[in-house]
Amino acid sequence: MAVWALGLNHTTAPLDLRGRFAFAVDQLPPTLHHLRGNLAAQTQREPEAAILSTCNRTEIYCAADQMATEDTLKWLAQTGGVPIQELRAHTYLLEEGHVARHAFRVASGLDSMVLGEAQILGQLKDAVRAADEAGALGSTLNQLFQRSFAVAKEVRSTTEIGAHSISMAAASVRLAGQLFEDLSKIKVLFVGAGEMIELVVTHFAAKNPHSMAIANRSMDRGEKLAAQFGAEVMRLSDLPDRLHEFDAVISCTASTLPLIGLGAVARALKKRRNRPMFMVDLAVPRDIEPEVKSLEDVYLYTVDDLANVVQTGQAHRQAAVAEAEVIIDAGVQSFMHWLVQRSSVPLIQQLNAQVDEWREAEMVRARKLLAKGEDPEKVLEVLSRGLTQKMLHGAMAELREADPEHVAQATHAVQRMFLRKER
């Protein structure tokens, strides 16, 4: 089985390029179906596949009877509407053991913008669940991901990789605190009601802001989150008219187009008489038009802008990283050993089937001899000799070959299979 992964992340591709390849969880089943159908022409059957898509990365994991890396890149380029050579410059391609190492590092938080962050493990589990429900997972990728979860659990339970970690949510609050002297006096608007927004709301709520509001496409989900924190809930359609009321705006939705444009923010600033606005866009693709950053009284940060803030404390985690890499090394070796063993399964099945066929033939012959009244001892002798001859026939034929090199290889194989001493 060939295993490969193709991806782009916060270290290889700019935010706007990553945004072209962002897939919401509900988009994954049809996307996986399209990908597998596209690659099936290059492999003997539809490959196994899974797609991990977060604000920091999009990665495609595949397993098939043969590699189809170039076709995977071509499919991704077409899906995002990007020339293949441009995309190639911003992607990484991994094969075999390197795929396992990468997956284990991702699950453990070693490949994240926030070193040691735990959210990625949940996102990976969601991606695997979506692939499984879409019927895109097979035994190879299932093994890869289940082992990645086990490795991540061991890394987090035996090292301090998550210690001193500053999350995106905490970084947002820290930056807001640098702009506003007293966070208890500001009004905060959260756009979206997903997992990331819930984390950010939790961190801001701890600072007891003057008020909080949640705007979401689904009122039910928005109301549920607002009820947890005593926040107001509002419709997305009310956003343009009410934007000026808020000192801080944090947005993270799955929208494919910006929800907050330059014009809306400019009008809000005018109503605020140019009092500053703090804005954080945690979405990929963007929720807030990048041109907003050019407005004089707006302080707009994206996920990439938060990189320096979240790296604080990283030096304290380097020792834990070294410990985690040891655990990951062992996990990679174990997975590759399983993969090699799995490749022998079809041959083992064929061998067992052939031996059963020989045994059945000799049993039929023995029964006929017994039915004729032959001596049981003689029948047993005939049966054992027949089985022995059948089992050794192939080896004997190989040893009688004329080619000396072929005979030498056969001799070595026969010695290993038939003449080795029991251990």
Which residues are designated catalytic? 55
DSSP string spanning 307-345? HHHHTTTGGGGHHHHHHHHHHHHHHHHHHHHHHHHHHTH
φ and ψ at 150, to 5 degrees? -65, -40
d(CA 285, CA 283) in angstroms, rounded, equals 6
Distances 48 to 41, 80, 146 between C-alpha atoms, Å: 14, 21, 15
d(CA 249, CA 258) in angstroms, rounded, equals 14
Beta-carbon contacts of residue 294 (< 8 Å; ≥ 6 apart): none
Beta bridge partners of 288: 260
CB atoms within 10 A of CB 225: 19
Residue with structure tokens 């596949």?
49
CB atoms within 10 A of CB 125: 15
φ and ψ at 130, to 5 degrees? -65, -40
CB atoms within 10 A of CB 107: 27
Query: At 77, which helix (H) or strand (E)?
Result: helix 69-80
Residue with structure tokens 């979240």?
310
Helix, strand, or coil (residue 64): strand
Residue 37 in contact with residue 46, Cβ under 8 Å?
Answer: yes
DSSP string spanning 357-416? HHHHHHHHHHHHHHHTT--HHHHHHHHHHHHHHHHHHHHHHHHT-S-HHHHHHHHHHHHH
